[in-house]
Structure 1
Amino acid sequence: MCLLAIQYQLVPDAPILVAANREEFYERPSQPPSIQSGKPRVLCGIDAQAGGTWLGVNQHGLVIGVCNRRKMSSSYPSRSRGVLCRELLKSNSAVHARDVAMEELSSGRYDGANFVCVDAESGWVVHGGNEIDTVEMHEGLNIISNRDLNDPRDERVEMARRLLTLHTLDSPVKFLAVASKVFARPPSPPGRPSIVIREKDRGTVSSTLISLGKKPRDAIYQFSGSAPDRSRYEDYSPLLRDILSRGLREANTKAKT
């Protein structure tokens, strides 16, 4: 499970704004965000058990995220959803990542998952439950957890929407400031929806805030290595700006040849 909010194409200075909480078993090891080798360059955390990731950005400004979801299946899954997430970060566009995700999830080799694929040109969610389908993101706030995108039946999604929209999110600074508080909201009493989840053996294990502007120097990447109500966000923005600058240089060089 996870909770992922994307404010898309609403703020001219930052077309992509992301807030995400990751839920996992506490004993499952992971590594904080780092630049991965190979091309395109990717900034993401790593699941040390399977080698995949849950959220990342590549040098083309493509954001890929995955949320687990329920799925009735008669076959035993043979591939990690996080590994597919990491593979999708090799794409050069959200459309290409969407198509690869659709093809892979249709193979039946994965447990249920929702894949978010978004760049400056388009934004998509691939629902990989009992049926495989894709939904285009609308301009504004899009939120997903373990059901469909913007599902009004998902109490956790609706809670996050209500808390985020109490404020006017018309700049990257405002979005990140509000999201850092909303996504760090302590666990609710049992039986009620909760932003931070804290159960006996699993719960919220990390949180990420991302802002992608029109220029690499404006990009922001903040990461909390545990539940954000107990741990501060640390700044990884220089790493994100580095890979985006590399991507821009390579694109400019290619355009001249």
Structure 2
Amino acid sequence: MAMAWQLHPKLPLVLAANRDEFHDRESAPMAWWEGQGILAGRDLRAGGTWLGLSQTGRIALLTNVREPGKQDPQLPSRGALVPMWLQGAPAAPEMAQRLRAMPANGYNLLGIDLMAAQAHCWSNRHGHRHALAPGLYGLSNAALDTPWPKLIRLKRMLDEACRQPDRLSETLMQALSDRQLPSDELLPQTGLSTEWERWLSSIFIETPHRRYGTRCSTVIVVEQQTPQEWRVHTVEQGWDAQGQASGRVEQSWTVTPSSAPGA
């Protein structure tokens, strides 16, 4: 994931992210969850999600921390953390308290609140509350802004795209489909074999056996229309096990203070 947060006056948020997963793990594409005001895909095995947006201007993204051999299958699914933020924990401190009380395998959780002009990154491996200043950020399967080659590359492409915002979503979709591999000496050392580190080192992941790879790409662009009005645009492109485009979802809506519960 790469994100420009409050760097551009008319574009307070630009985010581009890939979801990588085993192809036999069933999931549903991005859609509005009935009666919940949440737009998200859904993991059909555990019921949670990896990325979502709310009608009220909250956005959340989850990544797993890569810890080979340390996963406890008995712990609750991390996918429940995204809707927890989207459904409206009142403020970031309370969210941090809730997260500390929840046992889970390693994760990073990005939480954004457009109306509060706040972004946070929580992790049960790298510190539970981290308020984000305006800036360019990258997040993969380690701590925020760990300088993995694919994160450095995606952040650079996102920064360049924001400087020329015409067709921004399509430009970022092209960036998310980038399959360039770094040289072996630049590969992360996370405890996997060199072969697996190499397969996982590109922005868009394809593995030779087609069992694991990039399942969908998501771009979120938020335009500031007035000081209290934001236009949210999001695009999700699905990918099949052969790395071919498979289904596309586009949604846009306006967030204002009247969108908030009880307004």
TM-score bracket, normalised by the shorter chain, equals 0.7 to 0.9
- Residue number in structure 2 paired with 1:122: 118
Query: 1:130-159: CA deviations, max 9, x gaps?
Result: x5332222323211001111123x222122
1:224 aligns with 2:237: yes
Please say which of residues 109-118 and 74-83 is displaced more in the overlay. Answer: 74-83
CA shift, 1:74, in A, is 9.3
1:236 aligns with 2:242: no
Partner residue of 1:144 out of 139, 144, 156: 139
Distance 1:222 1:144, change over 3 A: same
Tell me the distance in 2 between the aligned counterparts of 1:218 and 1:170: 19
Partner residue of 1:170 out of 163, 166, 177: 163
Q: Structure 2 length normalisation: TM-score?
A: 0.78
2:3, 2:158 within 8 Å by CA — same for their partners in 1? no
Q: Once the two structures are aligned, what percentage of the paired residues are identical? A: 24
Which structure is higher in helix share?
Answer: 1
Tell me the distance in 2 between the aligned counterparts of 1:70 and 1:229: 23
Distance 1:213 1:163, change over 3 A: closer
Which structure 2 residues correspond to residues 81-120 of structure 1 after superposition, within 5 A?
Answer: 81-91=78-88, 95-96=91-92, 99-100=94-95, 102-107=96-101, 109-120=103-114
Tell me the distance in 1 between the aligned counterparts of 2:52 and 2:158: 22
Amino acid at match of 1:207: S
- Residue number in structure 2 paired with 1:188: 181
1:207 aligns with 2:220: no
Secondary structure (helix, strand or coil) at the match of 1:132 reads coil
Partner residue of 2:46 out of 43, 46, 50: 50
Secondary structure (helix, strand or coil) at the match of 1:46 reads strand
Amino acid at match of 2:64: N
Distance 1:63 1:74, change over 3 A: closer
1:159 aligns with 2:153: yes
Aligned length: 239
Q: Structure 1 length normalisation: TM-score?
A: 0.80
Amino acid at match of 1:115: L
Amino acid at match of 2:181: S
Secondary structure (helix, strand or coil) at the match of 1:35 reads strand
Tell me the distance in 2 between the aligned counterparts of 1:51 and 1:45: 10
- Residue number in structure 2 paired with 1:59: 55
Tell me the distance in 2 between the aligned counterparts of 1:5 and 1:172: 16
1:132 aligns with 2:166: no
Distance 1:64 1:250, change over 3 A: closer
Is there any run of 5+ residues in structure 1 with no aligned partner, and where?
none
1:46, 1:52 within 8 Å by CA — same for their partners in 2? yes
2:82, 2:109 within 8 Å by CA — same for their partners in 1? yes
CA-based RMSD: 3.0
1:26, 1:205 within 8 Å by CA — same for their partners in 2? yes
Is there any run of 5+ residues in structure 2 with no aligned partner, and where?
183-194
